[in-house]
Amino acid sequence: MVEQRSDPTAHTLDHHGWPTTKSGYRLDIVIGMGNFGIVWRAECLEGMHSGQTVAIKILDCGKFEDSSMADLRRESAIMNISRHRNIVCEHVAFVHANFLWIVMQIVDAGACTDIMAITKAQSGTSGIQDEAIIATILRETMHGLRYLHQNDKIHRDIKAGNILMNMNGEVLLADFGVSAQMKKGIKQNTVCGSPCWMAPEVMQEQGHDTSADIWSLGITMIELALGEAPLFQYPPMKVIRMILDQSPPTLPSRGWSDEFKALVNACLKKDPRERPSIDALLI
């Protein structure tokens, strides 16, 4: 009688064929650092994706408070269900020895902030000087954002540091740790995001919806053009007071087209009802 041997890797693969154990990957080099863990470039060693390069975020679960773990679960859930060419995709997540491994699509050129930093070091210029390049980045970012908004999700942390690019020039939105799922007719009240990019209504806990992302997108436009967000040099509490008390920031009058300045001004309306939708911006 022939002994039936089961596939030793069968229980270590998810239904998409990605390994769910540490042994299924070989870590290569560190490509990112955070407060709770690191991001590695790695190679998949098992299953149908063997040989593929991925990014793996390894997080120490013991360092997370309950609220932080909730944010992490939210981020993982949004990445896992999002299937769009402009949104970073999560392949699989699993726990090994109290560490959470999140296996993701590799985005090998880094964030726009990294690219601008390299350019500044090489040429001494701040920001992206070519409007066509900025327009291309914004268009692709907006497509990803439209996908989220159409699925009733708010990103809530749009900024150059969360816009990634790969070596093919593809643009992807990342970092969904403070994202939220909208319910029809109900606004969000949580104060979250990065102060320099945060919409006024978020700071005031007035209730906010997807239009808060439009404000953040307007600030990101200025960041891409100038190399840094308005008010970046001030401490967070002062930034919040200044955003609430002062007129919205604008692009400098010289060096940028009227169309670009008009786009920024349309996004940076203090009254969220006056901001265009993501569909209107794409037009």
Catalytic residue among 71, 114, 130, 157: 157
Pairing between β-strand 90-96 and β-strand 163-165 as defined by DSSP bridges: unpaired
CB 201 within 8 A of CB 245: no
What whole-number distance in Å separates Cα of residue 96 and Cα of residue 74? 20
Q: Which residues are within 8 A (CB) of 180 and not within 5 positions of it... i.e. 6 or more apart?
A: 74, 153, 154, 156, 188, 190
**Three-state secondary structure call for residue 207:** coil
Place of tokens 């991001």: 39
Residue 175, both tokens: 């970092």
Instruction: Identify the helix (H) or strand (E) that includes residue 265.
Output: helix 258-267
DSSP assignment, residue 87? B
Nearest-angstrom CA–CA distance, 165 and 116 = 12
271 part of the active site:
no
Active site amino acids: 157
